[in-house]
Amino acid sequence: MAPPWHCSAYSATVPAMMGHSHALSGVVGWMAVVPLVQGTQFLGLDFNLGPSEIIAGSLVCAGAALLPDVDHKSATVTKTYGKVTEMLSDMLSFLFGGHRMGTHSFFFAVLMGVLVQLLALWSELAVQIFVFLLIGIALQGLGFGLDKNRTASGIINALATAAITLALYSAGTNYTWLGLAVAFGVVLHFFGDMVTKMGVPIFWPFWKKRIGQNKGFKTDGPVEQKVVTPLLTVGIIVGSIYLFDWPALLPDGR
Ligand SMILES: [Zn+2]
């Protein structure tokens, strides 16, 4: 049986990118835009991203980059919170026209971004809960959920997620950019699916053509395993070296 994060589990004939590649692309994507938006104003938001905003944004983006596959039963995001996400998956799959339809459109990206931004305006606590849920999805996607023992992996995942969310909270992380990061992560998912031969109906519901179908490389094939995943990983290392002021992050006297 295909592992739960295996995006292509939904169809043997139409391959899609693996969950961990999507999650990695979210991390790299956020790290790549930080230098571009740093110190600027966009949509009325001030971008002053410190280390905690960079880490939080990377994980939020990674989680969001898995969200579109909520329209499928076997996707990482659907399996992350058991019955809760499974029910959500059934509902969203129905509302958005089934697999790889509405949840793979700019409409969905904008909708998610706006909803999350409204959530952020409404309640500080709701933001923390949403960030916690997304980080959980991200860690699951990045492969922190051990597959063999579901209960143990669920507990480890929840503890790690809680620890990270709390650490980001006590660091005073500013989440004004949350909606944008979510929309951006969702859009990154589309690119991931497009480069793996799977078309994405990005203009749904207006135009249901799957853009990018049958172009690109095979899912979990040699290109994804030997080129894409290592490149994304190197991207994260380079990004971390470049973005963080490491000497300043270390405690004094070391
Ligand atoms: Zn997908």
Ligand 1: distance of its center to the CA of 253 in Å? 47
- Secondary structure (DSSP) of 65-118: TTGGGGGSTTSHHHHHTHHHHHHHHHHHHHHTTSTTSGGGSHHHHHHHHHHHHH
**Does the bond joining 205 to the residue before it have cis omega, within 30 degrees of 0?**
yes
Ligand 1: distance of its center to the CA of 197 in Å? 11
**Model pLDDT, residue 146:** 54
Phi first, then psi, for residue 172 (nearest 5°) are 70, 35
**Model pLDDT, residue 5:** 40
Flag residues of the chain having pLDDT under 50: 1-15
Residues 28-84: pLDDT tens digits? 999 999 999 998 887 778 888 999 999 999 999 999 999 999 999 888 899 888 899
**Model pLDDT, residue 144:** 66
Rounded Cα distance between 158 and 174, Å, is 22
Ligand 1: distance of its center to the CA of 167 in Å? 31
**Model pLDDT, residue 210:** 83
**Model pLDDT, residue 14:** 38
Rounded Cα distance between 58 and 32, Å, is 10
**Model pLDDT, residue 11:** 40
**Model pLDDT, residue 12:** 35
**Model pLDDT, residue 4:** 42
| Nearest one of 71, 32, 87 to 198, comparing CA atoms | 71
Ligand 1: distance of its center to the CA of 7 in Å? 7
**Model pLDDT, residue 3:** 43
Ligand 1: distance of its center to the CA of 132 in Å? 22
